Homo-oligomer: A and B are copies of this chain.
Amino acid sequence: MSEATAEPRYAARASRMRASEIREYLKLIDQPGLISFAGGIPDPALFPAAAFAETYARVLADPARSRSALQYSVSEGYLPLRQWIAARMLSDRTIACTADNVVITSGSQQALDFIGKLLISTGDTALVTAPTYLGALMAFNAYEPRYDTLPLDATNRTPAAYADAADRAGGTVKLAYAVPDFANPTGATMSAAARVKLLELADALDCAVVEDTAYTELRFSGEAVPSLASLEIARKGSIEASRVIHCGTFSKVMAPALRIGWIVAAKPIVRRFVLVKQAADLHSGTLDQMVMHEVADATFDTQIAKVRASYGARRDAMLAALARHMPKGVRWSQPDGGMFVWASLPEGQDAAALVQRAVSEARVAYVPGRAFFTDGTGANTFRLSFTLPTPPEIEDGIARLARVFATV
């Protein structure tokens, strides 16, 4: 018997794949008596559960459909679903496209992995906001990029400054990643002017723009801002001349468990993603795609209204409770939608150290903000999700959290 270790020699990229510390906070969600603002997951009470149950039953009750639903299918995704998405992209987001511009992914997380796989060589630069969505960093990290910071509004850095820094790191700027509506973790929305500036920067750098619209439907107040894809199509004349890779998901409005998201882009780019999809997992679940198509077609608008009303009331409850209870020096954002309020303690305080006290003394959880930064800053920041607790729980939890912060 050998005592040799069983572990193979991993590729260099394996050292970039680390467990998200957020996972530890998410585990707190199910602790009895604990009020968790740590999640970032939808309220399951809002899922159209009856429609899903009825549709799975109906598709599987038809022998011909059942056979297709349980069989292998094409890598680009179920055609009626891609057609439905193309129509909604036009009606909801002014993105003129056809089913040939759409590829189905297993949630938008898979879209981010595929984007890294297709675009990033070791040492290439990815522009991301600070803070940014941790799942994007996890996906891109496997392809060993260098990160540089994308400002959300005016920038005093020229395109040449970005390009030079990328060149010195041994690569080029390959993509700029943004969550323009109600970003995770900040809840911030980019202005139309900032979006156009981002597209101009991408033109100057000849890089792709990755638009992650995970929260776009969750607007509770304010006016919708045109998508980066629609602005780019207006500038270039057609989606076929667009450099935007637009990613969407059913996870927040419908349900996440079916793992259905999509990429909308110019056809040659979509054809590349179809090859990536085929190599990665052949295709997304056939039955799940068929069911999601029918349930979305029947309930998508109702679902949007339902999640907006529910999450909007909880955002209001959270903003009111923060204003009522938080001690001086704690600051927070005023999101127009999404799932998160972004907050900060006075400079010098450590949100990661305090979360331990918050959990043990106040039985309240949140996510410390540092994990969302690529540069090690953000120690005093934290993220509060308002989508799972009820308004009375939010009021109670924020009051309890404020008492911890008041005694630092």
Contacts and interface: CB of A to CB of B under 8 A. Distances in A.
Interface of A: 1-14, 17-20, 41-42, 44-45, 47, 49, 52-53, 56-57, 60-61, 63, 66-73, 105-107, 109-110, 113, 117-121, 124, 135, 138-139, 141-143, 172, 174-175, 206-208, 235-243, 245, 251, 255-259, 265-266, 268-269, 272, 275-276, 278-288
Given A174-B9, A175-B8, A69 B139 contact: no
Contact of A255 (B5, B49, B71, B139): B71
B1 A236 contact: yes
Contact of A9 (B19, B71, B110, B172): B172
A120 to B, nearest CB: 6
Contacts of A10: 118-119, 272
B119 A8 contact: yes
A113 B236 contact: no
Nearest to A280: B113
Given A6-B268, A288-B285, A138 B278 contact: yes
Contacts of A268: 5-7
A54 to B, nearest CB: 9
B121 A12 contact: yes
Chain B CB within 10 Å, residue with most, of A6, A52, A117, A275:
A6
A66 B41 contact: no
B2 A237 contact: yes
21 contacts: A2-B235, A6-B239, A6-B269, A7-B266, A8-B208, A8-B269, A11-B119, A11-B121, A11-B124, A44-B67, A52-B66, A52-B70, A70-B257, A105-B281, A139-B279, A257-B287, A258-B287, A259-B281, A280-B280, A285-B285, A285-B288
What's the number of copies of this chain in the assembled complex?
A: 2
Contact of A6 (B68, B106, B110, B266): B266
Contact of A18 (B105, B142, B239, B275): B275
A60 B70 contact: no
A7 B269 contact: yes
A281 B106 contact: yes
A54 B291 CA distance: 16
Contact of A257 (B71, B135, B207, B281): B71
Which of A118, A120, A259, A265 counts the most chain B CB atoms within 10 A? A259
Given A52-B70, A72-B257, A142 B47 contact: no
B73 A280 contact: no
A72 B257 CA distance: 5
Contacts of A206: 9
Contacts of A172: 9
A23 to B, nearest CB: 8
A345 to B, nearest CB: 28
A243 B6 contact: yes
A1 B207 CA distance: 18
Nearest to A234: B1
B279 A259 contact: no
B56 A70 contact: no
The 4 A-B residue pairs whose C-beta atoms are closest, nearest first, are A1-B237, A257-B286, A6-B266, A53-B60
A243 to B, nearest CB: 6
Contact of A11 (B41, B118, B257): B118
A70 B41 contact: no
A371 to B, nearest CB: 14
Contact of A53 (B4, B52, B66, B256): B66
A6 B6 CA distance: 46
Given A53-B61, A57-B57, A117-B142, A279 B17 contact: yes
